[in-house]
């Protein structure tokens, strides 16, 4: 078969969950240049791997302007994830490089991890596990979702799925969104409320919003002071949505009962103050990391890349709004 393109594939787990994405590329005449390090690559390693490639599939690895410039013939990047923080979109546009992503591919799995954090916290699972390992038999008294109110900030794909799962447990759902979609009420029993009321009334608060100039530190000291002392905070969305120092203060001073966190201001998060607290459940940005979710993202990324090579409609091209958002975020940081 004639080689139509050379593709850098940088995600270290590519094809491990389902070989179909690899087969799709090979059948389309794509020569695959793999990340053989079996770990997340840094910028200098990406600069070496991408040399001579026409197209690329990338995950959380840095796809910077410097990386792109190492392969002047680069024409298309398929992002094997939802978030776009690791790709310099406007640098790609300046170089006439198209970019796709896979929105919605991980919505179910992120919602599941959110519910996992909630159940672990309200039932005292982590505390009971630690006691058992210390040789102590003590039945921790927890709480049931049917007696609790869950407040969801952000009712997009993941927020809606989280609400659906929690409703099955009998929880009361209140929600806040900058653009409330009341059509959701036709299939989910939720009540739309203001952000302030949600903070005051909810026993559990879940964040499911993107990181934008408007959502940076959406939960800060002021918001934590408004929450109930026995409330829990869950963030499986994006690092930077909560002020981590304020959360540490709230947890150590019993302003809130606990937190479940999967995403952090700086990742990897290793040995920070949150990890010293017993009333925090911590995971390592693994909301999308299930077999079916990984396979789905890889297959959809391969579909986008092949559509580009075939000069067909690319089903999940990154919209202009994401390019504009990156410019806005860079202006804040500068």
Q: List the catalytic residues.
A: 238, 267, 285
Q: Counting beta carbons within 10 angstroms of the beta carbon of residue 165, is it exposed (0 to 12), middle (13 to 18) or buried (19 or more)?
A: middle
The dihedrals phi and psi of 151, each to the nearest 5 degrees, come to: -105, 125
CA-only gyration radius of the chain, Å: 22
How far apart CA 178 and CA 161 sit, in angstroms, is 18
Q: Which two tokens stand for residue 330?
A: 């860079």
Residue 57 in contact with residue 299, Cβ under 8 Å?
no
How far apart CA 34 and CA 19 sit, in angstroms, is 14
The three-state secondary structure class of 322 is helix
Beta strands across the sheet bearing 204-207: 190-192, 172-176, 149-153, 204-207, 232-235, 258-261, 280-282
List Cβ neighbours of 170 (8 Å cut-off, separation of 6 or more).
144, 145, 146
């Amino acid at each position: 078969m004639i080689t139509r393109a050379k593709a850098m594939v940088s995600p270290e787990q590519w094809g491990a969950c389902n070989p179909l994405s690899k087969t799709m590329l090979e059948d389309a005449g794509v020569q695959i240049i793999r990340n053989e390090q079996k770990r997340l690559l840094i910028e200098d390693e990406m600069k070496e791997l991408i040399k001579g490639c026409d197209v690329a599939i990338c995950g959380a690895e840095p796809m910077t302007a410097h990386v792109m410039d190492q392969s002047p013939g680069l024409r298309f990047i398929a992002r094997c994830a939802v978030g776009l923080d690791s790709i310099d979109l406007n640098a790609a546009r300046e170089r006439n490089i198209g970019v796709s992503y896979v929105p919605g591919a991980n919505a179910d799995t992120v919602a599941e991890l959110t519910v996992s954090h909630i159940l672990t916290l309200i039932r005292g699972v982590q505390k009971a596990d630690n006691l058992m390992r210390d040789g102590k038999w003590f039945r921790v008294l927890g709480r049931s979702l049917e007696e609790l109110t869950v407040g969801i900030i952000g009712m997009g794909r993941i927020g809606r799925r989280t609400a659906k799962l929690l409703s099955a447990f009998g929880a009361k759902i209140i929600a806040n969104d900058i653009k409330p979609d009341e059509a959701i009420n036709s299939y989910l029993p939720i009540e739309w409320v203001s952000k302030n009321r949600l903070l005051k009334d909810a026993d559990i608060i879940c964040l499911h919003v993107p990181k934008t100039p408007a959502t940076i530190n959406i939960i800060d000291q002021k918001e934590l002071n408004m929450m109930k002392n026995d409330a829990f905070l869950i963030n499986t969305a994006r690092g930077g949505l909560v002020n981590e120092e304020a959360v540490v203060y709230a947890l150590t001073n019993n302003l809130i009962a606990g937190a479940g966190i999967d995403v952090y201001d700086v990742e990897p998060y290793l040995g920070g103050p949150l990890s010293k607290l017993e009333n925090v459940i911590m995971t390592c940005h693994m909301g999308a990391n299930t077999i079916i979710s990984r396979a789905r993202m890889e297959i959809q990324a391969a579909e986008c890349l092949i559509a580009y090579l075939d000069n067909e409609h690319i089903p999940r091209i990154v919209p202009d709004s994401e390019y504009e958002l990156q410019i806005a975020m860079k202006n804040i940081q500068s």
